[in-house]
Structure 1
Amino acid sequence: MGISMFVCVLVGLVLYGTTTIINGVEGSHKVYKEYKSVPAVEVKQLHRTGFHFQPKKHWINDPNRPMYYNGIYHLFYQYNPKGAVWGNIVWAHSVSTDMINWKPLDPAIYPSKPFDRYGCWSGSATILPGNRPIILYTGIVDPNNTQVQNYAVPANYSDPYLQKWVKPDNNPLVFPGVGVNGTAFRDPTTAWWGPDGHWRIIVGSRRKHRGMAYLYRSRDFMSWTKAQHPLHSAKTGMWECPDFYPVSMDSENGLETSVMKGNIKHVLKVSLDLTRYEYYTVGTYFHEKDRYVPDNTSVDGLAGLRYDYGNFYASKTFFDASKNRRILWGWANESDTASEDVNKGWAGIQTIPRKVWLDKSGKQLLQWPIEELETLRGKNVHLNNQQLNLGDHVEIKGIAAAQADVEVSFSFASLDKAEPFDPSWADMDAQQLCSHMGSTVTGGLGPFGLLTLASANLEEYTPVFFRVFKAKDKHVVLMCSDATSSSLKKELYKPSFSGFVDVDLTDKKLSLRSLIDHSVVESFGPGGKTCITSRVYPTLAVLGDCHLFAFNNGTETITIEKLNAWSMNNPLMN
């Protein structure tokens, strides 16, 4: 994914000659020429994260194919070495032994050849037989943004860090071809090996208003042939950063991308250029026909399931062979303006890597922060059997509230006070509903949850909360991460991010985990069923003046059965 996902907030924009603002966030093919090569004079520390991945300065976006190789985790990512807005993009490269502490290396790929002279955009890595990693990436060949797919290989396979990469002169490997939009043809996936002896990849594209996952096959990884039909398509607009992989129906363990046999499903994820959100489906891959058919358990389109219902884009998974798990990385952009980013000298973070697996229902994925994150936990406070009545705000004291990990289990005695779910809301997405029924709107069963990054007198706070409704034949759980009151600053994008939670309320309990890190609140609903990431910029609730509260604004009494909160230490970060 390239400049098409350059996102800034509330700044004038030209997109193919038209002004477009989507969900309060700009998507832009516009280059900020006045900013893109302005280096950081000073890196402002206010709002910089303590334990999320980010370089020392400047702009980052997509996590390009992370991988595990010979005991080392590699993360490649889109990076501007010259400034804090999109531009001058290279493939930056960092390495780690735990995905928490990171060491920076020199960029792995940067524009230097005719086949990528105008840009090195996103892509993926594959481990070939003989334990040989190879990178596929999108190269820009002319000022018109014509896109081709190139490859790069390590200069020295014995180097444990794979510090230098070579782009052979037989590039490009894949051209748009007849009938393919050459300016919308990017982000090749990790390859998978089929029973017929062919490698396969998909490349994101669009044809008129349809998102396309074009399929290519190769016996030798060098000569690629476009399949007669795409792996899948849907009427959603351009598909960026596609990802396609198998998941087990029997276990939380991850599967290597080429696994075809066993009790498995496949996941197809795409990033939507039209909405700046992602969605995924769970379905069946018929490898004999090279067709993917989503199950009918979720929407295959704009209202589909998301990894994350907040600020999360251009995600990429990989199979971690060291622990037999599949790991998800995603990019969380800033929600301030381009000029603010230039002033502070940095922009963009990667969310905490998450283990991802299939729910027992087979209908959706579950996500949870990798277990290694817990090594950063410091001072701990806990709370048990604390009742929250209507209007109660209980402060969680004794930790660094601006940089914390909080796990809490809520319970309630009855579902009787759940508010009726208005049938007219069925056509309203969760974010709209949350914006109408925020944390201060009194309800029956909820709203209840946490007030994160809060000032002492609640002039600023980012609530993460639940509200339970009663529909005709079931209960509906709404989870929100609402940035509306997150900052006194005006020139910010402050959405009411929200998603519904498909959860059984028989035991009358809901759990929540929030990772709080200065300008990001990354939250996980019950068991990782619904995840929401918010970027916020408080002016009062910063550093030592930040507070954390549990609250209830519903008439049904809520009990905090168990709450654990930890101050989080800083890892080694680039």
Structure 2
Amino acid sequence: MKKDRIHLKAPGNWINDPNGFIYYKGLYHLFYQYFPYAPKWGTMHWGHAVSPDLVNWEHCGVALFPTRYEDQNGCFSGSAVEHDGKMYLYYTGVHYDVVNPENIHKNPNDRYESTQLMICSEDGFSFDNFNGKRVIIPPFSDREQADRTHTRDPKVWRGKDAWYMVLGSRTKDDRGQLLFYRSMDLIEWKPVSRVTKETTLGWMWECPDLFRTEGGDVLMLSPMGVVNDGKREANHAVCLPIEFDEHSCSVQFSENFQFVDYGLDLYAPQSTVDKDGRRVMVGWMRMPEAVEGRWRGMFCIPRVVERKGEHIYFRVHPNVEKAYQKQIASPTEAGKAGYRLSLDLEEGEMIDIGGYKIWRKGKRIITDRTAVFAAHDSWRMQAETPEIREGDHLDIYVDQNLIEIYVNNGEYVLSSVVYGLSTEIKGKPSGEWCLYAAESNK
């Protein structure tokens, strides 16, 4: 099977949302939305990869594929939990109202029925797609409650005395909402609450992920239509500090939100708890074109999520940091896993990494990928962070098709998909800078 180091990439063809992210029986399992027939979106399967350390990944083929009426047109996103040594996967199955006679993999009118399903595995690798699937929440027929089409992406977790599930949905007046459920046995689920935000935050909330950190509760969402100026991609991943009451499943929202990543290529993040108790997240990096016509889609570096007050930090996972120990003199000495560039970037300074420009202006980090990105109407060439407050330091992880900039150890992150980077670094920041390669796997 294909292996990846640092960045998990499509093994071929197409991937999008990370699914079922879990540490289970000594391995990190990461499933993902997968179309195995072409490097473009189509009928969704679940691909599967595993890692012992969040650094070295091995693809394991297809885990879930359509077999039932309810998931005939795709196994959409979901999550995983462990109970009594078994792995439980929860996902959304979709069934199109009308099938396109010219292309069965493409929905002709964006109208379909969404059903929440479950499948269980004894070992995390074997899934009985023909006899093991079970409907747990049928499609909604009452528009007053939720949308029959746009209700999906179950995230399940263990609470104090029960299991909980949150679904992303929309209200009858086209506002994003969350649906909360409770279960004692992971099979029978009872509705608890419906939650929305008074201030509009998109018209549908995809991929909800609610979790507790040492500094407080965090909600990650991918709201559809959160940016609505008609000039660029409208759907983006955001995070909010919240207060969550488990008994009532009520949410007190912060007035403000952050983007999970200010490059605005990252979408549909999902988190889990690593073997040492850290909350760790991965997200899908959207790509407008296939690489060499063969594969399209990859994931960001695993990031530790921390909340301090009202701010949410995304830091490089320590295992990834430790992988970059070999100091090098030039990017040409780096291997397939790329390199890390560490430096301080002060006001007015700029650095050019293989055609990708980074500079600091007005306490913001700004980037421009025009020279290493094909022109697309809805894709940003420039991106910028909010004003930074905690220093001048950047750790920049450079892959042939992705650059991730961690500002002040995760105060903000700005990541950009790129094509055709050169190995030349230009610019003269006033301080010293160092290059590190990821050492080969032993």
Answer whether contact 1:406 1:514 (CA < 8 A) is retained.
yes
Structure 2 spans left out of the alignment, 5+ residues: 98-110, 226-233
Tell me what 1:566 maps to: 436
Indicate whether 1:140 and 2:26 are aligned.
no
Instruction: Give secondary structure in 2 for the equivalent of 1:527.
Output: coil
Cα offset, 1:295, TM superposition? 3.4
Cα offset, 1:332, TM superposition? 0.4
1:417-447 per-position Cα deviation (integer Å, ceiling 9, x unaligned): xxxxxxxxxxxxxxxxxxxxxxxxxxxx31x
Tell me what 1:291 maps to: 250
Answer whether contact 1:206 1:237 (CA < 8 A) is retained.
yes
1:467-523 per-position Cα deviation (integer Å, ceiling 9, x unaligned): 23xxxxxxxx21122213335x5558452111114414xxxx410011111121111
Indicate whether 1:497 and 2:374 are aligned.
no
Cα offset, 1:278, TM superposition? 1.3
1:531 paired residue among 413, 416, 419: 413
Indicate whether 1:308 and 2:252 are aligned.
no
Cα offset, 1:247, TM superposition? 0.9
2:353 paired residue among 438, 446, 452: 452
1:322-357 per-position Cα deviation (integer Å, ceiling 9, x unaligned): 212111100001133xxxx38611101111111111
Question: Residues 569 and 210 (structure 1 numbering): CA distance in 2 closer, same or farther, change over 3 Å?
Answer: same
Tell me what 2:358 maps to: 464
In 1, distance between residues paired with 2:440 and 2:235? 30
2:237 paired residue among 272, 278, 284: 278
In 2, distance between residues paired with 1:233 and 1:69? 38
Tell me what 1:480 maps to: 366
Cα offset, 1:77, TM superposition? 0.5
In 1, distance between residues paired with 2:386 and 2:428? 20
Tell me what 2:104 maps to: none
Tell me what 1:327 maps to: 280
Tell me what 1:182 maps to: 148
Answer whether contact 2:21 2:28 (CA < 8 A) is retained.
yes
Answer whether contact 2:169 2:178 (CA < 8 A) is retained.
yes
Tell me what 2:344 maps to: 409
Tell me what 2:159 maps to: 193
Cα offset, 1:410, TM superposition? 4.2
**How do 1:159-178 and structure 2 match up within 5 A?**
159=123, 161-165=124-128, 168=132, 170-178=134-142
In 1, distance between residues paired with 2:437 and 2:69? 50
2:62 paired residue among 92, 96, 107: 107
How many residues are matched?
411
Instruction: Give secondary structure in 1 for the equivalent of 2:320.
Output: helix
1:6-41 per-position Cα deviation (integer Å, ceiling 9, x unaligned): xxxxxxxxxxxxxxxxxxxxxxxxxxxxxxxxxxxx
Answer whether contact 1:151 1:173 (CA < 8 A) is retained.
no
Answer whether contact 1:486 1:494 (CA < 8 A) is retained.
no
Cα offset, 1:370, TM superposition? 1.6
Q: TM-score, normalised by structure 1?
A: 0.67
Question: Residues 317 and 283 (structure 1 numbering): CA distance in 2 closer, same or farther, change over 3 Å?
Answer: same
In 1, distance between residues paired with 2:165 and 2:197? 12
In 1, distance between residues paired with 2:5 and 2:350? 24
The code of the aligned residue for 1:549 comes to K
Answer whether contact 1:515 1:521 (CA < 8 A) is retained.
yes
Question: Residues 514 and 176 (structure 1 numbering): CA distance in 2 closer, same or farther, change over 3 Å?
Answer: same
1:262-314 per-position Cα deviation (integer Å, ceiling 9, x unaligned): xxx21111102212211111021123332110234xx1xxxx20110111001
**How do 1:392-431 and structure 2 match up within 5 A?**
399-400=333-334, 403-410=338-345
In 1, distance between residues paired with 2:435 and 2:133? 54
Cα offset, 1:115, TM superposition? 2.1
Tell me what 1:522 maps to: 404
Q: TM-score, normalised by structure 2?
A: 0.85
In 1, distance between residues paired with 2:322 and 2:163? 39
Question: Residues 118 and 398 (structure 1 numbering): CA distance in 2 closer, same or farther, change over 3 Å?
Answer: closer
Which moves more between the two structures, 493-502 or 143-152? Answer: 493-502
Answer whether contact 2:150 2:170 (CA < 8 A) is retained.
yes
Tell me what 1:380 maps to: 327
Q: Which has the higher contact order (CA 8 A, sep 6+)?
A: 1
Instruction: Give secondary structure in 2 for the equivalent of 1:331.
Output: strand
In 1, distance between residues paired with 2:325 and 2:293? 28
Question: Residues 199 and 314 (structure 1 numbering): CA distance in 2 closer, same or farther, change over 3 Å?
Answer: same
Cα offset, 1:319, TM superposition? 0.8
Question: Residues 209 and 234 (structure 1 numbering): CA distance in 2 closer, same or farther, change over 3 Å?
Answer: farther
Indicate whether 1:53 and 2:1 are aligned.
no
The code of the aligned residue for 1:201 comes to M
Answer whether contact 1:205 1:212 (CA < 8 A) is retained.
yes
2:425 paired residue among 543, 548, 563: 548
2:311 paired residue among 350, 361, 364: 364
Cα offset, 1:57, TM superposition? 1.1
In 2, distance between residues paired with 1:280 and 1:70? 30
Instruction: Give secondary structure in 2 for the equivalent of 1:485.
Output: helix
Which has the greater radius of gyration?
1
Question: Residues 315 and 397 (structure 1 numbering): CA distance in 2 closer, same or farther, change over 3 Å?
Answer: closer
Tell me what 2:230 maps to: none
Instruction: Give secondary structure in 1 for the equivalent of 2:203.
Output: coil
In 2, distance between residues paired with 1:92 and 1:233? 37
In 2, distance between residues paired with 1:342 and 1:400? 20
The code of the aligned residue for 1:202 comes to V
Question: Residues 82 and 198 (structure 1 numbering): CA distance in 2 closer, same or farther, change over 3 Å?
Answer: same
Answer whether contact 2:155 2:209 (CA < 8 A) is retained.
yes
Instruction: Give secondary structure in 1 for the equivalent of 2:319.
Output: helix
Tell me what 1:9 maps to: none
In 2, distance between residues paired with 1:512 and 1:318? 26
Identity %: 23
In 2, distance between residues paired with 1:352 and 1:135? 23
Tell me what 1:220 maps to: 185
